[in-house]
Amino acid sequence: MLFKQLFENESSTYTYLISCQEKQEAILIDPVLETLERDLSIIKKLNLKLKYAIDTHVHADHVTSASALREILGCKVAGPAKDYLKCRDVNFKDNDELAIGNTVKLKAIYTPGHTNTHFSYTINHRDVKFLFSGDALLINACGRTDFQSGSSKKLYNTIKNIFYKMPENTIVFPGHDYNKNNFSTILEQKKANTLIDDSISVEKFIDNMKKLKLDKPKKIDVAVPKNMDCGN
């Protein structure tokens, strides 16, 4: 399996390129329109065939490049079925699986809270699980819950009863990072996550989230409508 973690500076978004080396088939998770040319260049340089552009949710801070990738490379666009987007070719339901070539299998997991339709994805590589947690679980933090049908109670349940019950050596690859942390493990997050460690109560977590008072994402008024049409 080939794996690359790519970063977009303006929105601090991570995009993930994963491929089966036997068939040279690849996916991109959470691609960003501003880095379209970079991603196309990498795919061409590595001689890969992009099969799927996959989003974790309808993003509010950047525009997805899913539609552009489909137009240029002929890949399929995938994401949560609960978004009800007509522009997607593949609509994941909870626990759906997607094969990438002969050697990579992605599992889609319904992980609401940041938005009510948010999905995360896992891939098992050798003896380790990779978790692509989107905006649900970040490194030493978590996604906000104050817009787009977000729910602190649902996010608490997602993190405590889905993510924190995964094997403790599961590697967490988040959708964003603002502090130069590019990965963690479930064990580390259970111990050290400042918003939601393994011992916090749901009442305390909800209170923590209410106190964040975050600014509105700069691109929300442009990004959300465009992402409802897969970036068009």
pLDDT digits (tens, 9 = 90+) for 183-206: 999 999 999 999 999 999 999 999
Could you tell me if 195 and 160 are in contact, meaning their C-beta atoms sit under 8 angstroms apart?
Answer: no
What is the CATH number for 77? 3.60.15.10
The reply to whether 24 falls in a domain is yes
Phi, psi angle pair for 182, to nearest 5°: -100, -10
Cα–Cα–Cα angle for 172, 173, 177, nearest 5°? 115
pLDDT of residue 41: 98
Could you tell me if 83 and 149 are in contact, meaning their C-beta atoms sit under 8 angstroms apart?
Answer: no
Task: Provide mean pLDDT across the span 55-79.
Answer: 98
The reply to whether 126 falls in a domain is yes
Task: Provide mean pLDDT across the span 90-94.
Answer: 98
Strand residue runs (E) in 87-162: 90-92, 97-100, 104-110, 119-125, 128-134, 137-138, 141-142
The reply to whether 94 falls in a domain is yes
What digits encode the pLDDT tens for the residues 166-184? 999 999 999 999 888 899 9
Domain of 14 in residue numbering reads as 2-227
Q: Is 90 exceeded by the pLDDT of residue 74?
A: yes
Alpha-carbon distance values, 164 to 111, 123, 132, 156 (Å): 12, 16, 14, 10
The reply to whether 232 falls in a domain is no
Could you tell me if 120 and 109 are in contact, meaning their C-beta atoms sit under 8 angstroms apart?
Answer: yes
Task: Provide mean pLDDT across the span 98-102.
Answer: 96
Q: Is 90 exceeded by the pLDDT of residue 130?
A: yes
What digits encode the pLDDT tens for the residues 150-171? 999 999 999 999 999 999 999 9
Alpha-carbon distance values, 16 to 48, 82, 120, 206 (Å): 14, 22, 13, 30
Tally of domains within the chain: 1
The reply to whether 32 falls in a domain is yes
pTM beyond 0.75: yes
